[in-house]
Amino acid sequence: MSLRRRMVLAFAYVVVLVTVVLGIPLLASVSGRVDAEVRADASGQAHLIAATASGLLGDRPALRASLRSTAADIGGRVIVVDARGVLVADSAGPRLEGDAYGDRPEIAAALRDGRAVQDTRSSDTLGEDILVTAVPLVDGGRRVGVVRVTQSTEAVRAEARRDQLALGAIAGLALTLGLVVAWLLAGSLARPLTRLAEAARRVAGGDLTVRVQEEGSAEQREVAHAFNDMTGRLNASLNAQREFVANASHQLRTPLTGLRLRVEAASLRAQDPALRRDLEQAEAEADRLGRLLSGLLTLAREGEERPPLRAPTDLADLAEEAAERWGPAAGARGTAVVADGRGRPVVRAPAEELDIVVDNLVENALVYAPEHSVIRVGWEVRGTTGVLTVADEGPGLSPDDAARVFERFARGSAGQGTPGTGLGLAIVRTLARRWDGDATLENGPDGGALATVTLPLHDAPRQALHRDGRDLDGSLPGGA
């Protein structure tokens, strides 16, 4: 889960928790507050009518008008009864005037005790719960009747629900705004990390010039500064290493070439057969050292920005030329190299580097191929990739060999004691990946080992490439 999602969920959890912890008591208090306000308003209205109605008992129309006005204000019913509990005036109209109401518990209590009574009870007439407020009507110190105000409790509950819905809407709005703020805040925190990760991937891909912007919090700026400092130091270190390798190559090639020429000249002049054999072995070791040096130089360039591609490569031409080039060396060992493929895949990689790839694969196959066997160099198109294969009829790979065959200086168990540097397959994979391809080595379906190199096809029309005058001695490994 991303950092932004984690932060939004954490913020939402906090907001919801606070809303629940504070909202439930608040909703409960709202219901109580609304009930208390309605009760207080009803009591106040009843006392106000009681204060004025005693003087209007003789003027029934005026009394009814006053009751109707009050009933409209409070949304209920207002009646006045005399000291005997007989209905004198009713906000609902005169049709019930004269009926006895003295049996109503609130009216009986107000007449008996001379105090205001307020209660909630069920009304059989209305078939619902009502809030009743009864206040004694006093004239000249005598209780001359009772004013009663009745209101439906449903109105009270409706008012409470409206307030609760308003609070819920406010809580929902707060949660929405909180999530928006959390999303923006999480984005501001995650954005520098995302850019840092992208920069790290570019560095892993070999671009050591990339730098990240130092932004965000103090800790994020510190991480970005440390990353830039690390990348700068790494770039400087690798540049120094490459300069050293280039200088070492230049300095070592000259004396190595001179040593090889002197050993070769001495071998030609030697009369003693034993001395001649020793000199020939020394010459072979000088050749091996040259190939090792070339291989190390090739691997040392791993991670460098690849040069612009001057021209694509036709894998069919590449394979046929390799078979022709390695034919004499293979024949001397009692084997044969043949080229056989399908189509004419043109790949996006330079011929000079693919020559090194195919030469290493064929040379590796010659080490393991038995006498009177055939090494097949093939090619084909698979989707958007061109495929180059080299198959031999040797012993194949053991499980241990398959796990480390592309490691530097690794030698297969079947090839122990044979000449070689152990860098050939590492060079193959390095060069293949340099051009967005890859290399694998596995046991073939009919036995032996099968090396496969995949490279992206070039989108230009196929063209035959003429590649004359390439120096295989210098580009590795070669046969002379």
Percent of the chain with pLDDT over 70: 84
Which sequence spans correspond to the domains of the chain?
Answer: 3-158, 229-300, 313-475
Q: Cα separations (Å) of 140 from 55, 143, 453, 459?
A: 11, 8, 117, 113
What pLDDT does residue 479 have? 36
**pLDDT digits 0-9 by tens, 165-207:** 887 788 788 778 877 887 887 777 778 888 888 888 888 877 8
Looking at every residue in the chain, the average pLDDT score rounds to 80
Q: Which residues contact 372 (CB under 8 A, 6 or more apart)?
A: 334, 335
Instruction: Give yes or no for a contact between 454 and 432, defined as CB atoms under 8 angstroms apart.
Output: yes
What pLDDT does residue 473 have? 34
What pLDDT does residue 476 have? 33
Q: Is the pTM of this model over 0.75?
A: no
What pLDDT does residue 472 have? 29
Of the options 3.40.50.1980, 3.90.1200.10, 1.10.490.10, 3.30.450.20, the CATH number for the domain spanning 3-158: 3.30.450.20
Count of CB atoms situated within 10 Å of the CB of 462 = 14
Instruction: Give yes or no for a contact between 276 and 267, defined as CB atoms under 8 angstroms apart.
Output: yes
**pLDDT digits 0-9 by tens, 226-253:** 989 999 998 888 788 777 776 776 677 7
> At which residue do the structure tokens 């040593």 appear?
259
What pLDDT does residue 71 have? 83
CATH architecture group of domain 229-300: Orthogonal Bundle (1.10)
Q: How would residue 28 be classed by pLDDT, with cut points 50, 70 and 90?
A: low
In angstroms, the CA 7 to CA 24 distance is 25
Lowest mean pLDDT among 17-21, 366-370, 379-383: 17-21
In angstroms, the CA 408 to CA 425 distance is 8
For domain 313-475, say whether CATH 3.30.565.10 is its number.
yes
In angstroms, the CA 92 to CA 34 distance is 26
**pLDDT digits 0-9 by tens, 450-467:** 999 999 998 744 443 333
